[in-house]
Amino acid sequence: MIIRKPQALKDHDVTDESLYRGRRKFIKTMGAGSILLGSSLAGNVLNAKARQDDLKNELTSYKDITTYNNFYEFGTGKSDPAKNAHTLKTSPWSVTVDGECAKPGSFALEDLLKPMQTEERIYRFRCVEGWSMVIPWMGFELGKLLKRFEPTSKAKYVYFETLLDPEQMPGQKRSVLEWPYVEGLRIDEAMHPLTLLATGIYGKDLLNQNGAPLRLVVPWKYGFKSIKSIVKIHFLEEQPISSWQKANAVEYGFYSNVNPNVDHPRWSQKRERRIGEFRKRKTLFLNGYADEVAALYKGMDLKKYY
């Protein structure tokens, strides 16, 4: 298995699952006494201890990655997707590619994937809600796939669409968001080598709740940009409007880059809770991938283009 880690996640930064259990001990101990009230002293002692862990990146457990999800097509609770996503049929699956490209078409998933070499990529994943994970994705660079359709010079943006089928995705029966879920990237973001189309996690095929059979992974953007269960890819000249922008343009912008200096209007983005850890850690600019992707936004006011 080829393991390619982006520079921002160094080898020694990634330790495995084993340490992760210990992190929970404190919470368990707390439960034992049902004591939720703590003294500020105890908090500070813990803080000092935890501070050293701030730069560590342990893989999030498979269980947490597959049971704690935002996938409103299967309900708005975090555990809903794991419970409800079994109704999604991922085979046969086809993806339509059209718009500003020379070779549009509708493709069976197998045909789409056949020429692609999948590899493992370990990325941080930061949700706009303030939690994060470290996920070993299986996938390939989106750019490599997109080139096959020969986007024209007018292809300034790429638009993605999730399956629309309220029978398979019961969450779509309620209009929490406008369905289908749609997302978009600027073409240079889409072509960036860090941008992935994922088909698996931990060496296994994606589970439905994680966006099977094909999902986007843009590690320097908030999680909702990484659209799941993709059925359509469309090249276009105008900037598309994403589902969360439609729902609330003031709170969710097109770019939605992870940025500790630009708060969500209703909560701070300065810190995040790494799932499996006790204390919150500082959120990194562009989720720690600034070396790779900051150049994409040179000269842009990221407070304005949030």
Partner 1 sequence: MKIPEPYFSRLFKPFVFALALMPLVSLGLAAWQDKLGANPIEVITHSTGDWTLRFLLITLSISTLRRLINWGQLIRLRRMLGLYAFFYATLHLFTYLWLDQFFWWEDILADIIKRPFITVGMLAFVLLIPLAATSTNAMIRRLGKNWLKLHKLIYPITILGVLHFWWLVKADVREPFIYMAILALLLAERVWNAWRFKKQFLK
Interaction site with partner 1 (CB under 8 A): 24, 27-28, 30-34, 36-38, 40, 43-44, 46-47, 63-64, 67-68, 72, 76, 78-79, 129, 131, 174, 176-177, 247-248, 263, 266-268, 270-271, 273, 275-276, 278-280
- We find the least distance from the C-beta atom of residue 64 to partner 1, in angstroms, to be 4
Q: Cβ closer to partner 1: 177 or 296?
A: 177
How many helices (H) and strands (E) in the chain? 10, 15
For residue 256, which amino acid is it?
A: S
- We find the least distance from the C-beta atom of residue 299 to partner 1, in angstroms, to be 28
Q: Cβ closer to partner 1: 134 or 142?
A: 134
* Residues in CB range of 105: below 8 A, 6 or more apart: 96, 97, 98, 149
Q: Cβ closer to partner 1: 32 or 102?
A: 32
Whole-number Å distance between alpha carbons of 249 and 271: 23
- Strand-pair category, 94-99 with 105-108: antiparallel
Assigned token pair, 150: 């020969």
Whole-number Å distance between alpha carbons of 151 and 101: 4
Q: Which of 99, 68, 85, 50 is closest to 211 using CA atoms?
A: 85
- We find the least distance from the C-beta atom of residue 140 to partner 1, in angstroms, to be 27
Q: Cβ closer to partner 1: 197 or 206?
A: 206
Whole-number Å distance between alpha carbons of 292 and 59: 21
- We find the least distance from the C-beta atom of residue 232 to partner 1, in angstroms, to be 22
- We find the least distance from the C-beta atom of residue 98 to partner 1, in angstroms, to be 29
Q: Cβ closer to partner 1: 4 or 28?
A: 28
